[in-house]
Amino acid sequence: MTSPNRIETPLQLGPIEQRLDGIVPDVERAILEPLIADIERLKVERNAVVLAHNYMTPDIFHGVADLRGDSLQLAQVASETDADVIVMAGVHFMAETAKITNPDKTVLISDTRAGCSLAESITAADVRLLKERYPGVPVVTYVNTSAEVKAESDICCTSSNAVQIVESLDSDRVIFIPDQYLGRWVASQTDVEIILWEGSCEVHERFTANELRGYRETHPGVQIIAHPECPPDVLAEADFVGSTSGMINFVKREIPRQVVMVTECSMSDNVAVEAPDTEFVRPCNLCPHMKRITLEGIRTALETMQHEVTVDPEIATRARQSIDRMLAVGAPVGTH
């Protein structure tokens, strides 16, 4: 299945000396180029690809990523590659999803500490208790969760297709886990009753409505676009609410003079490269887990073939059903 929101996937990498030109300072580029050259050599030797999430730093995103995008896009392209080895430049649940959709491939993550506050906010046991409390109510699970949680769920979703997934179930109410803010935003977009879990993203929950009003005062006419993992008062201040791919498409479509992307800091750095006519006003909330992934770590992962991500086959089979059901619903609606 091909997503209309896919961002230049697969990425065609040019000569190493050109990849970071204008993206990082020349002094940094001189340091990074040997690392990139090592990674490129190792990718050939291992028949490997690097999958990079939009929140990766520009040296990774533009320097070594073969496939890049948001959670949904990475879930899709992971199953389309002919490589023997997948290196996930993202957090652990993304690497698990790549393994679930590619059981015969070796999936590596360079730092096992690269987790996710959302994924850690709920367990499989929690989901079983919810299903006991609300018998027969379908469970929609955000992909920012562990394989064990996905295995207990009826269907997965991402921020780009959450409304579409909820409405596809033909149910008056659904259990939506684990992001309370994404769930509240979905509830505002549909008549389906949403039963929430109190999880949240430690990056997006730090934004405030007052902060956004401050940007409007200091940058008259600025466009504010926000990820639906943000609190409701933040979303109410935004001119557009959408997933990472939705925000990228907004910038490319509208070409605003100035824009604030209310999401993880590195995404603005990466999108700015492809939007030279837009000035990015950059609040900088960093994801500490994403920033554990480095070029040095990727090189070491390919040298040592560590750390390999494994998923119990029985759990993987059940989790794969939830992921496949999501992909079978269809491509996400572009405005989400």
Q: Does the domain formed by 16-115+290-305 have CATH 3.90.1640.10?
A: no
Cis peptide before 307 (omega within 30 of 0): yes
What pLDDT score does 330 carry? 64
Torsion region of 322: left, alpha or beta (phi above 0 gives left; psi -120 to 50 gives alpha) = alpha
What pLDDT score does 232 carry? 97
Helix (H, G, I), strand (E, B), or coil: what is residue 184? helix
Cis peptide before 178 (omega within 30 of 0): yes
What pLDDT score does 335 carry? 31
CATH superfamily for domain 204-281: NadA-like (3.40.50.10800)
Beta bridge partners of 87: 50, 108
What's domain 119-201+314-329's architecture? Answer: 3-Layer(aba) Sandwich (3.40)
Asked whether the beta carbons of 17 and 33 are under 8 A apart, the reply is yes
What pLDDT score does 17 carry? 73
pLDDT, tens only, 159-200: 989 999 999 999 999 999 999 999 999 999 999 999 999 999
Residues of the chain with pLDDT under 70: 1-14, 330-336
Report d(CA 265, CA 258) in Å as an integer: 16
Closest by CA to 286, choosing from 224, 207, 228, is 207
Pairing status of strand 139-142 against strand 279-281: unpaired
Report d(CA 19, CA 171) in Å as an integer: 48
- Domain ranges across the chain: 16-115+290-305, 119-201+314-329, 204-281
Task: Return the number of other C-beta atoms located less than 10 Å from residue 214's C-beta.
Answer: 12
Q: Identical fold at 16-115+290-305 and 204-281?
A: yes
The single-letter DSSP state of residue 332 is P
pTM here? 0.89
Chain position carrying tokens 């900088």 = 284
What pLDDT score does 37 carry? 96
Report d(CA 196, CA 215) in Å as an integer: 31
CA angle 39, 43, 45 (to 5 degrees): 115
